[in-house]
Amino acid sequence: MKKLLPSFLILAAGMCLFSVTANAQDDAKLKKLQDKVDAAQLKVDLADAKVFTADSLIQAGQVMIDEASAELKTLAAEQKEIEKTYFNERKPLDKQMRSNDKEAVNEAKAEVKQLEAQYKIDTKAWNDKYKVEVKKYSTGEKMVEKGKTALKKAKTSKKDAEKLLKDAEKALEKGA
């Protein structure tokens, strides 16, 4: 019996040691699976951020388009007003230039030159405003297109990341 007791103690100690080692291996395996779940969750979060960014880009582009469209309508009315004013002021001067009185004709020519110079200045200022608004409109369109492209890409990556997360969570459940 004395020989059996040390053997039994060695066997019991070995079983305990094996049990502790197996537990440590299970813990390491679960830790590794949990790390995979955490990494997959991070990918999902990053994909969500990309979707949000793309949505924001689309919204900002649409706001720019709407603002530019409204301003372009205002500018169209402003252009009509500039032309109407010019032609209404020019009409009596043209009539005066057909006069027989040379002094009245010379005076009308001088006023026409002044009127044309002012018309050119007004038209140039209008063109500058128009170019700014057209550029704003086209920039908005580019932003919307860029956002739509990024959104498609982000949704695809989000879908893939969610699938990866689901698979990692299933593996963790099986390992637990």
In whole angstroms, give the CA distance from residue 47 to residue 162.
9
Does residue 68 lie within any of the structural domains?
yes
What pLDDT was estimated at residue 15?
45
Give the burial class of 77: count Cβ atoms within 10 A of its Cβ; 0-12 exposed, 13-18 middle, 19 or more buried. Answer: exposed
Does residue 10 lie within any of the structural domains?
no
Does residue 12 lie within any of the structural domains?
no
- Cα–Cα distance list, 76 to 73, 106, 129 (Å): 5, 34, 11
Does residue 18 lie within any of the structural domains?
no
SS3 at position 165: helix
In whole angstroms, give the CA distance from residue 164 to residue 158.
10
What pLDDT was estimated at residue 120?
96
- Structural domain boundaries, residue 87: 26-175
What pLDDT was estimated at residue 87?
95
SS3 at position 35: helix
In whole angstroms, give the CA distance from residue 123 to residue 111.
18
Number of domains in the chain: 1
For 2-45, the pLDDT digits (tens) are 554 445 445 444 444 444 444 556 677 888 888 888 888 998 99
> Mean pLDDT over residues 78-83, rounded?
95
> Mean pLDDT over residues 122-137, rounded?
96
Does the model's pTM come out above 0.75? no
Does residue 15 lie within any of the structural domains?
no
Our CA angle for 82, 83, 89, nearest 5°, is 90
Neighbours of 106 (CB within 10 A): 11
Choose the weakest-confidence range: 47-51, 156-160, 162-166, 170-174: 170-174
What pLDDT was estimated at residue 11?
46
> Mean pLDDT over residues 141-146, rounded?
96
The CATH number that applies at residue 120 is 1.10.287.620
> Mean pLDDT over residues 43-68, rounded?
94
What pLDDT was estimated at residue 156?
93
In whole angstroms, give the CA distance from residue 172 to residue 22.
17
Does residue 123 lie within any of the structural domains?
yes
What pLDDT was estimated at residue 20?
44
